[in-house]
Amino acid sequence: MSVQKMPPGETHKDIRALVFRIYDQCVELVILGVIPLMLVALGFAFVAAVVSTIGMFQAISANDADEQFLRVLVERVLDVVILIELFNTFMEYARTRHIRLANLLDVTIVFALREILIQLYAQVFSPADLVTLCILVIVLVFARSIAGEFSRSRAEEESVG
C-alpha cells in the first residue's frame, strides 16, 4: 500500500477552496439572518407611518390639527421609502453577490431628497444647507445617469461578446 504525496500546489488549492467555501456559507447564513430583521424594521417603519396618519386624522377630527402632524407623517413615509430602497439593494446583493453603483446612488438621492423635504416642511433650513443639499442631489443624479449609461454599455458589450 503506497501513499501518494500530493504536490504542494494541490494542497494549497484544496485549502483555499475550503476556506472560500466556508466563507461563502457564513455569508449566506448572515444574509439569511438579516432578511427577517429587515422585514421587521420595514414593518415597524410602516406601522409608525400608519400611527402618524391615524394621529393626524384624530387631530383633524378634534379640530386640533397642527402642521407638526403632517411633518411627522411626511418623515415617516420618506423613512419607509428609504428603507425599501436600502432593502432592495441588499436583496440584489443577496441574489447576485454584487451591488450596483446605481442602486447605492438611488438610495443616497432618496435620502438627500428626504432631508431637503424635511427641512423645507419644518422651515428650519439655512440657505447654505439647502444649497449644499441641492448641489449634492444634482451631483448624485449626474453620477447616477453616468452609472446607468456605463452599466448599459457594459451589458451590451457582454451580450455581444
Domain boundaries along the sequence of the chain: 15-98, 100-161
Query: Distance between CA 95 and CA 119 in Å, rounded?
Result: 36
Using CA atoms of 11, 14, 19, 22 in order, give the dihedral in degrees to the nearest 10: -150
| pLDDT of amino acid 65 | 63
CB under 8 Å to 107, separation ≥6 — which residues?
Answer: 82, 85, 86, 89
| pLDDT of amino acid 153 | 59
| pLDDT of amino acid 158 | 60
| pLDDT of amino acid 96 | 87
Query: Distance between CA 109 and CA 106 in Å, rounded?
Result: 5
Cell readout for 113 is 431628497
Query: Distance between CA 93 and CA 95 in Å, rounded?
Result: 5
| pLDDT of amino acid 3 | 52
Query: Distance between CA 126 and CA 120 in Å, rounded?
Result: 10
| pLDDT of amino acid 77 | 87
- List average pLDDT for each run of 10 residues in the chain, which is 161 residues long: 59 89 93 92 92 82 71 84 89 86 87 84 80 91 86 60 52
| pLDDT of amino acid 157 | 59
